[in-house]
Every structure is written in C-alpha cells, then in structure tokens.
Amino acid sequence: MTEVKTFPVPFALGEIKENITLITKKSSQYSEVDLIQKALKFHVEGNISEAIKCYQHCLKQGINDHRVYSNFGVILQNLGKLKEAEILTRKAIEINPNFADAYSNLGNILGDLGELQEAEISIRKAIAINPNFADAYSNLGNILQGLGRLQEAEILTRKAIEINPNFADAYSNLGNILRDLDKLQEAEIYTRKAVELNPDCAISQRELGICLYLLGDVDSALKFIVKANYLDPQELGSQILLSIFQKEKDSQNLDLKIHKKKISLDEKVLESNPMIINRPVESDLIDCLYKIKSRDQEKYQNPTFGDARGSDYKLFERSESMIKIIKEDLTKIAINSVKSDVFISESFFTIFRSGGGLVSHAHLNKLDKIKGINLAQKKFSLVYYLSVGDQNCDEPGILKLENPYQEILPSNGLIIIFPAGRKHSVLYQGKKDRIIIGVNFYRV
C-alpha cells in the first residue's frame, strides 16, 4: 500500500540480543528454545535465508511461540507474501493477545492488502497495549494518510517523533503527510531530517527529490533521485522518477507551470479508451509460460481471487527467447499507443481456471497519486489474451471496465490498453485455462 513503510522487527535489537543471551544459558536443556535462539540470531544479523529455514523448522516442530509467528510474518511481508504473513501474524496474536508488535505488524500487512479500516483498528490495539510505541504511531499515521485523514495522520506522526526524536522513518512519513497538505517548505525540512538521520535510506532520498521537484528545483530533485536509485537500484519508484525527471531535464523544460500545462494537454494520449488491437499468438509462447514455475496468485497478487496461477511482476526480466520476443513486441505496441518512450514497471502472466478472477481495482499506487508529479496521467495498463479458454458458460471472462462502464468479451490475440486509473474486474468460470499477459507502463 504505502511507499514509505516501517517494518518493525517484533523485538528491539537489544531485546532480541538479551533474549538470545538468556536462551543460550538454557539451550542445553531445551532443544526447542535452542532452535528459537538460532532463528532470532539469524534474523537480527540480517541472514534472512537462514532465519526463514529456522522459522520454518520451528513451525514443522509444532513450536507454539508468538515470536516465531510474528517474526516470520514480517519476513513474508517483505517478500510480498501478504496473505501468508497475515495468517502467521494473526496466529502470533492468538498465542499472545497482549503482543503489541504483532498488532502493529498486522496493521502494516492489512495496509499493504488495501484493507485500511481494519489496519487502523489493529494498530490502535497496539497503541492501547503500549501507549509509548513510536512505531505504531508512525504506522497509524501512514494508514490514516492513505485514508485521506491528513490532519489526524500529522498529529500521530508528530507523536511518534516526540516519543523517539531520532526516528528517521517518522520524519520521512511526516514529510509526506505535509506534502499532501501542500505544506511543501515544512515537508522539505522534515524529509531532510530523515535523510540526515539515515542517509542510506533510498526511500527518504527519493521523497526529498519529490519534494524538491514540487518546489520547482528540478536539478536538485534529480540529484536525490539519482542517489536513491544508487542506494536501491531495484526500487521501481526511483527508476520511474529518474526516467521522467531526466527526460524533462534533457528537454530543458524546467518551468513547472509549463510542465503542468503540458501534462494536462497530454492526458488523453490514447486514440481511444480503451485502445484495442490484435496480435497473433504463438503456440510456443503459451508452451513457454506453462514451463515457468507458477504461484498461487490469490496468495501473492492482490486483487486476484479464486483458482489462478501465474508469475511475479518481473516476467520480462526472464531469459527465455519467447519472453524476449513478446517483451520487444509489446514494448513497441505500448510506444505506438502513447506516441512516446515508455517505462515498463510490471509484467506478468496469469492462468485463470474456473472460479478465478479479479475484484474491481485500478493499477495506481501511492506514488502515482502524488499531486504535482501527475504519474497517474502517464500510466497505462495492457492485457494480452493468449487464450480466452471456454466461453460457453455463464461467466466467460468478460472484462468489465468502469467510468464509463463497458464490457468486452475478448478473443484470442486481443490486446486492450487503457489508463491504469480506470477500474476493471473479471470473473471466469470456463472449463479450459484462460491465459493472459499483463503489462503496466508509464509514458516518459
């Protein structure tokens, strides 16, 4: 859900080390405790792969320890396994109903799942158990920002800073809230403080770049975006902004008023909404997708539900020759559709089976919605139907677009492109597999 997030490990590092010391004294007596000790040790040292193995072994051994469930839930959240993370964190709460960290962590997970109201309830429980819990106040501020309750979000995030004056993430979160309140000068002050406290945090560097861009200092903004991209080359937000800001600088269009006017003129860049074209489907492409190890999309890829399997969002990074071919072709199609260079942010395939589908959703994230950056007007979604499956049923997989409402029954080889902010849904109940490739891209 949120771009700037805090993922508190359910024990402060000092507390974990203290627990490890205590556990070590008893490890010769309790092999179960020894296993928990190893898991905590690997986790606090940042050896996540070994920590995962230990936590998994703990669960297999039937160890009913709230720390194991909560810590493992945090790791799974960071890996994008949100549904599994939710299950484990709820189990931690079931074991220890007074475990404040688990309530706060659950709130973060629910926030990422888009369940903001439930997230608020969970984090407020954490605060009720431990009123001086700075992480929880900051996390709650984040959730309230997502709900549009900016004044409340500001108050709670300032409370987090009051409790912990060196809380870098809280300063960054407060900067974002003030930015959304159009208090840009004050937002810059707090975001700079976040960078000062933690100069190696890519997200804070990126957020400062955004703030400076909105203040009209594109040159300085670009420098911080470059630094953010250097610190975390895999972070998509920085990659997108770097492409857009650099192109703007190269074109010497540094006047924000002119830029914003240009953006407003360019909002409707598709010849039609949606834009529909056809591309023949290679049988080799379908065969290639079936050979790729797929995952349960209901668990990993919100808003997918029911019987659906597919890839992560990095399909085009694979090395198979057919993937390279389809990447090149769909990129050219995207470029032609918006008459501009494009930045592909997500690419994936999904195989729907009977009962699989998508709840109503759009493909905009928090970064896309920042006022003044206008990424939402630059973002588009593409769906390519490789096989429509069995359409002789009550729910044949009709694409239902909203605002305005429109129904499209796809055919094999159909490509549909529409603004990423346009909500859509689908339900499929046919007996044969329904296969699509999805792409989200930005006009740059």
Quick count: other Cβ atoms within 10 Å of Cβ 252? 7
For residue range 114-171, list pLDDT tens digits in order: 899 999 999 999 999 999 999 999 999 999 999 999 999 999 999 999 999 999 999 9
pLDDT at residue number 422:
97
Contact 398, 353 (CB under 8 A): no
pLDDT score at 12: 38
CB 66 within 8 A of CB 37: no
pLDDT tens track for 296-348: 998 878 789 999 999 999 999 999 999 999 999 999 999 999 999 999 999 99
Output the CA torsion sign for 51, 52, 57, 63.
Answer: positive
**Cα 393 from Cα 144, distance rounded (Å):** 43
CB 405, CB 271: distance < 8 Å: no
CB atoms near residue 78 (< 10 Å): 12
Beta-carbon neighbour count of residue 426 at 10 Å? 22
Joined together, the tokens standing for residue 425 give 């849904």
Distant-in-sequence, close-in-space partners of 211: CB < 8 Å, separation ≥ 6 = 175, 179, 184, 187, 188, 191, 221
Chain segment 11-60, per-residue pLDDT in tens: 433 344 444 444 444 433 447 888 898 999 999 999 999 999 999 999 99
pLDDT tens, residue by residue, 409-437: 999 999 999 999 999 999 999 999 999 99
The letter for the amino acid at 143 is I
Report the percentage of the chain scoring pLDDT > 90: 80
Chain centre to alpha carbon of residue 265: 29
Span 275-443 CATH architecture:
Sandwich (2.60)
Residue 81 and residue 50 in contact, taking contact as beta carbons nearer than 8 Å:
no
What residues does each domain of the chain span?
Answer: 13-250, 275-443
Fold of 13-250: 1.25.40
Q: Which helix (H) or strand (E) holds 209?
A: helix 202-214
Which of the four pLDDT bands, split at 50, 70 and 90, describes residue 265?
Answer: very low
Question: Which of these, 45, 52, 121, lies nearest to 84 by C-alpha position?
Answer: 52
pTM of the model: 0.83
Q: What is the tens place of the pLDDT at every residue in 87-117?
A: 999 999 999 999 999 999 999 999 998 899 9
Q: How many CA atoms lie within 13 A of 308 on its CB side?
A: 29
Q: Percent of the chain having pLDDT more than 70?
A: 89
Rg of the chain over Cα atoms, rounded to whole angstroms, equals 23
